[in-house]
Chains A and B, each alone.
Chain A
Amino acid sequence: MAESGKIDPMHQFAIEPLFGTDHWSLGGMNIAFTNSALYMVLAAIVLWVFVIGGMKRELVPGRWQMAVEYMTGFIKNLLIANIGDKGRKYIPYLFSLFMFILLANLLGLLPLGLFGLHPFTFTSHFTATGVLAIMSFSIVLIVGFYKHGLHFFSLFVPHGTPALMVVPLFFIELVSFMVRPFSLGLRLFVAMTAGHVLLKVLAGFVINSANASPMLGLTVGSASFILMIGISALEMLVAVIQAYVFALLTSVYLNDAENLH
Chain B
Amino acid sequence: MPQIAQIAETYSSQIFWLLVTFGFVFFVIGLGMVPKVQGTADARDAKITGDLDAAKAAFARADEAEADYRVRDTENRAAAQAVMAKAKSDAAKSSEARLAAADAEISDRIAAAEARIQAASQAAMAEIETVAADAARDMVARISGVDASEEAARNAVKAVLAHG
Contact = CB atoms under 8 A, between A and B. Distances in A.
A109 B14 CA distance: 20
B6 A15 contact: yes
Contacts of A256: none
Given A31-B13, A57-B36, A73-B41, A93 B30 contact: yes
Contacts, number: 144
A156 interface: no
Interface string B7-24: 101111111111111101
B2 A91 contact: no
A127 B3 contact: yes
Given A15-B2, A93-B30, A127 B15 contact: yes
Interface in B18-41: 18-22, 24-26, 28-31, 33-38, 40-41
Interface residues of A, number: 53
Contacts of A55: 33, 36-37
B47 interface: yes
B29 A47 contact: yes
B34 A92 contact: yes
A32 interface: yes
State the majority secondary structure of interface residues on A.
Answer: helix
A231 interface: no
A13 B5 CA distance: 11
Nearest to A29: B12
Nearest to A103: B25
A131 B36 contact: no
State the majority secondary structure of interface residues on B.
Answer: helix
Contact of B15 (A47, A51, A59, A131): A131
B17 A92 contact: no
How big is chain B's contact interface, by range?
35 or more
A15 B33 CA distance: 32
A184 interface: no
A198 B23 CA distance: 32
B162 interface: no
Interface of B: 1-3, 6-7, 9-22, 24-26, 28-31, 33-38, 40-41, 43-44, 47
Given A15-B10, A61-B44, A131-B14, 10 more contacts: A15-B2, A15-B13, A32-B13, A55-B37, A69-B38, A96-B26, A99-B29, A100-B25, A127-B14, A135-B22
29 contacts: A10-B2, A13-B2, A14-B6, A26-B12, A26-B16, A29-B12, A31-B13, A31-B17, A48-B28, A51-B34, A55-B36, A59-B43, A59-B44, A61-B40, A65-B37, A65-B40, A69-B37, A91-B35, A92-B26, A95-B30, A96-B22, A96-B29, A96-B34, A99-B25, A122-B14, A127-B10, A127-B11, A127-B14, A131-B18
**Lowest 4 CB-CB distances: which A-B pairs, in order?**
A92-B30, A37-B17, A96-B30, A29-B12
